[in-house]
């Protein structure tokens, strides 16, 4: 199943909040006018959005397909790769370094330290899930582009090396 590019996903996320005209989409997503004029026809052809009276809408008849596309394993994998590539590029761009918090460490840990680390990661995961639940109950009307992308986790260096050789 074909996934969506990150620029297509932000449009879908924006329209999931409410229908918008082109200027509102530009403001909410911070995508350029020209880029949106290229993205929107593709989303219309995929029947994911509709256009009526100068307004773009999420296609309610295709909500299940949108959910399948957004939650398909390959689509999520591609989105994650796209986000991490952008994150690394942004972090190492000296002009953008202030706008991104990125930490990565390669360290040896004892079994006990690994248990503590996993517990901290689980606590962080629980905290983030609580935030998501609060947003469902009382949404914040901010620009879609102002969402924070959070990342955490750990892996064994050898496993990552092995995986990198498969690509």
Per-residue pLDDT reduced to its tens digit, 124-165: 999 999 999 998 888 777 899 988 888 888 888 888 888 888
Q: Do 121 and 79 share a domain, yes or no?
A: no
Give the CA count within 13 Å in the CB-facing half-sphere of 111: 0
The answer on 110 and 90 residing in a single domain is: no
Q: How far is CA 68 from the centre of its chain?
A: 16
Last residue of a domain, one of 95, 124, 154: 95
Mean pLDDT rounded to a whole number for the chain: 87
Nearest Cα to 39, choosing from 78, 81, 9, 71?
9
Alpha helices in 18-62, H assignment, sequence order? 22-29, 33-45
Which range marks the domain in which residue 58 is found?
A: 1-95
Please indicate, yes or no, whether residues 74 and 114 belong to a single structural domain of this protein: no
Question: Residues 86-119: pLDDT tens digits?
Answer: 888 888 876 655 666 778 889 999 999 999 999 9
User: Looking at the structure, do residues 84 and 148 belong to the same domain, yes or no?
Assistant: no
Question: Structural domain tally of the chain?
Answer: 2
**Residues 13 and 86 occupy one common structural domain:** yes
Residue where a domain terminates, one of 74, 95, 116: 95
Pair (79, 124) in one structural domain: no
Domain shared by 80 and 8, yes or no: yes
Maximum C-alpha span of the chain: 62
Same domain, 111 and 142: yes
Q: How far is CA 95 from the centre of its chain?
A: 23
Report the C-alpha gap between 51 and 17 in whole angstroms.
16
* Tens-place pLDDT, residues 8-62: 999 999 998 899 999 999 999 999 999 999 999 999 998 899 999 999 999 877 7
> Does residue 5 sit in the same domain as residue 82?
yes
Q: What pLDDT score was predicted for residue 80?
A: 85
């Amino acid at each position: 199943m074909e996934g969506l590019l990150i620029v297509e996903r932000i449009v879908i996320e924006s329209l999931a909040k409410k229908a918008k005209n082109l200027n509102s989409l530009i403001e909410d997503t911070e995508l350029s006018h020209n880029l949106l004029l290229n993205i929107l026809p593709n989303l219309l052809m995929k029947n994911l959005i509709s256009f009526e009276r100068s307004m773009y809408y999420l296609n309610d008849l295709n909500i299940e397909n949108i959910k399948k596309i957004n939650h398909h394993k390959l689509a999520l994998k591609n989105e994650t790769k796209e986000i991490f590539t952008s994150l690394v590029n942004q972090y190492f761009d000296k002009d953008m370094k202030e706008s991104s918090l990125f930490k990565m460490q390669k360290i040896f840990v004892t079994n006990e330290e690994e248990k503590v680390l996993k517990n901290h990661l689980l606590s962080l995961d629980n905290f983030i899930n609580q935030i998501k639940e609060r947003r469902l109950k009382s949404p914040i009307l901010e620009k879609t582009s102002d969402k924070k992308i959070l990342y955490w986790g750990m892996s064994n260096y050898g496993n990552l090396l092995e995986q990198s050789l498969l690509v």
